[in-house]
Structures are given as C-alpha cells and as structure tokens.
Chain A
Amino acid sequence: MPTILFYLFAILTIAGGICVVALKNPVSSAMGMIGSFIGIAALLIGLNAYFVGTLQVLVYAGAIMVLFIFIIMLLDLKKEEGKEFSNGSLAAGIFIPLLFVLITLPILSSVKADFPKLDKAALIAAEVDLPFTEVPETSAIRNKLIDGQLPDVNLIGQKLFTDYNFPLQVVAVLLLVATVGCVTLSKKLHGDEPETDADDRMAKTLARSSAIPQVSIHAMGSVAEETPKVSNEPVEQVELSLDAEPEVKAEEPLAESAKQDEKLGLIYEDRPDYADDLVIINGVGPVLEDKLNSFGVYTFKQIANWSPENVAEFDDLLSFKGRIDRDNWISQAAELYSNKNK
C-alpha cells in the first residue's frame, strides 16, 4: 500500500478511535467506531488481504455496529450522559495506554521491515513454486496465479476446508450456542415486561390493574371507558376516590392488614390487592422489590409518604448507603402515584 494511502486510512482509523473514547453520546461513539472499522478494512485490503478486508466491512462495520446502534437506541441512554470521566479513571486511562505506546515505540526505530513484493512477476513465480500435492493442476488458484492475480478467496477457501476443517465445525457449534444463549437471555422473566421505557411499563401496569376490578379504584377512572366490562363492578367506589387528593391518606381504601409502624411508616402485613409494580422506580430491581415486599411495602404511595426517619431505617434494612436518596425514590414514587391517579 502506498505510504500516503496508509497514513490517510491510519489517521481515519485513529480519529474514529479517539471519537469513540472522547465523545459522551454513545451514538456518536458508534459512528466513530464505524469510521474506525472502515479505515481498518482499507488497511487490510492494502495488505492484499481482500477477503478479510471485505469481512471486516460486512461483519464489523455492518452487522456488529448495527447491533450496537440498535441496542443504544433501544435502551434510551440519555440520562447516562454527564456522568462520564471521573478524575482517577481518566488519569489511569491516559497513563496505562501511554506506557503501552512507549513500549511499542522502539518498533519504529528498529530495522524497517519492508513487505516482500507481490506483483505479477512474483505471483507467476509463486505458481511454479507451488507443490502439486497441495494445489492440483488446472485449479482456479493456478489459473489465476498464471494470469498474475492473487487468488485470495480461493486460497482462503482451500485453507479453511482442508487444514482448518475441524475448527470451522467447532465455530459452527459456538455460533449455535451463542444463538441459544441470546434467546435464553432475552426471554422475558416471569411477569417481567419486555419494555424498557418506564412510561410504557406504567401504561402496562395501569392496563393490567384495571382488568382486576377491586384493585385499582384510582386507575379505573381513566380506563373505565375503554374497558366497559369492568364498569359494572364497584362504580360508587370509583367516583368516591376520583376527586380525592393523592396526598390525603384517608382516601386510600386501606386493607385490614395495613398498619402504621413508627420506623417503617405505613406497612401492610399481607399483599394488598392494589399493590404496585415497584420495579418501575429507577433503582429498584426485582430482588429489591421482593425485599421491600417482605418489609410490607407494596405501593408507590407508601414510598412517597416515607419520612426521613423511614428512609434511614430502610437504608439500614436494605443495607444501602443512601441509595434511596441518590435515586430519588420518594419523588419518583410520588410522581408515579399521581400519574396513576390521573
């Protein structure tokens, strides 16, 4: 590869790589990565590795990066921005790679190892050199070599299906296992909704709770028109709580198992019918939800009404250090609770 082209694509690749590391938006990172991979593909083609270069574009710049961008879009990562780059990791992240570059620097000052020529004359000579036991006469490889072309794909195919036949089949098994693994990992857990967007989940929860009449006295107001089969159940109760303020505790039809605890605030001894899906709160996972349930916490309203003492108590019980405040459970729960009552 002519030196000028090498430097052109090398700069493209390095610039893409720096974009990946430096840009905060993951989509920009992915775009930089695509540029970087295209540069690497060009460098591979410059090394006469035409097939591998094409694979690089197809598999890396094509399939893998599309998968990355797809996942970035799916996960809605806007809120992750701004939390990047702490000072300690920035120092380590500059120092260690710099050390690595310093180690590789002597390569440049060593003897300049030029690549052997691979022009027409060299290829025709290579054909004469090729043993007949390896490549039979009148094969595509020999014909192309006689014409002075490099039969890149033919040679790779020959290598792959003779010397590397067993690894090839092992890779097939690996791909199968990976496929099965992906399906298993992305299978939805019991009762877990596949949506990642909190609002979607909220809507789902609302719809689900409205299907069970006595559960959602508050939710029913909004959904009652759409689900007429529900409306012949406790209609009077619905109207009672519709104009209720969310803050007023007395409006909530308390289950018999509910009681006011000094340390934990309002808790339920048994699971109330109108229990909420606490996982919707950012920072609460299925495990935490189970823990909260075991302490008698089942609804957004309970969390929204926690006093600072309650929060401290739960911090201890759940062995967190201030995570409830950090993830702002209370304001999240209050918002979810008011959404639910709309």
Chain B
Amino acid sequence: MATASLTEYLFFSGLLFAIGLAGVIIRRNIIVIFMCLEMMLAAASLTLVAFSRAHTEMNHGLPDYDGQMLVFFIITVAAAEVAVGLAIIVALYRARKTISTDTLTTLKN
C-alpha cells in the first residue's frame, strides 16, 4: 500500500502553519489569536516528528528521538505558556472589561 511521504507531511505542516498565521492576523479576539498560535506551534512540532521519522537510517534503523524530545519540550512549554497567557487575559479582562485587540490600544499613541 502506498504511504504518505515526507514531502506531503512537510507541505501539510506549512499549510497548517499558514492557517494559524492567518488567524493571528485576522482575528481580534485575544483568546482566538492565542489558539491560532498554539496551532502554529503544533504545525512546527509535526515537522519535527516527520524529520525524526525520516532520519531513521542515521540512527541504527530507529527513529531519531532527538526530534521527538524537542516536541516533548515544546508541548511542556506550550502548556505553561497557555496557563500564564490565559491568566494574563483574565487579569486584562478584569481591568478593561474587553479582550478585543481593537480596544486595547493604550500603547498606540
């Protein structure tokens, strides 16, 4: 049976990253922007794992687990980042009563 190749995985990751980027630029709701950032991180992780799987031959015939280690740490850091980021958003909402980036323009002028 034909299997998906590295090129397909890489292009797919790029596409997912682009969708996340579009979300970050278009959306005005900070929480949704944050979700799109997570999507970009996940797309990058997928690339790392795809390369880890592709480098099997250089690693005694097993996947190269250095790439997966990096993904492991990315997931950990992302979890911590989400916790702190959402705490900041809640604090912001408490102070300003809005989380739309259109109205949060204190630094603009």
Contacts and interface: CB of A to CB of B under 8 A. Distances in A.
A112 B7 CA distance: 6
A36 B97 contact: no
A181 B87 contact: yes
A130 interface: yes
Given A59-B75, A156-B72, A97 B7 contact: no
Contacts of A37: 42
Nearest to A63: B79
B29 to A, nearest CB: 6
User: Binding site of A, secondary structure by majority: helix, strand, loop or mixed?
Assistant: helix
A126 B59 CA distance: 9
Contact of A77 (B35, B77, B99): B99
Interface stretch (A67-75, A209-217, A219-227, A306-314): A67-75
B46 A6 contact: no
Nearest to A168: B73
A285 interface: yes
A196 B93 contact: yes
Nearest to B12: A10
A160 interface: yes
Interface stretch (A16-24, A254-262, A266-274, A290-298): A16-24
Interface string B28-47: 11011011101100110110
A250 interface: no
A119 to B, nearest CB: 11
B45 to A, nearest CB: 8
Contacts of B14: 100-101, 104, 107
A123 to B, nearest CB: 7
Interface in B51-70: 52-54, 56-57, 60-63, 65-66, 68-69
B100 A80 contact: yes
A64 interface: yes
Interface in B1-40: 1-12, 14-23, 25-29, 31-32, 34-36, 38-39
A182 B87 contact: yes
Contacts of B28: 80, 83-86, 89
Contacts of B27: 21, 84-85
B83 A68 contact: no
B77 A171 contact: yes
A26 B68 contact: no
A240 interface: no
B100 A130 contact: no
A123 B88 CA distance: 48
21 contacts: A2-B4, A21-B26, A33-B38, A47-B52, A64-B38, A64-B79, A67-B82, A68-B82, A84-B27, A86-B102, A96-B21, A96-B25, A97-B22, A97-B25, A100-B14, A101-B14, A105-B11, A125-B61, A156-B65, A174-B77, A185-B91
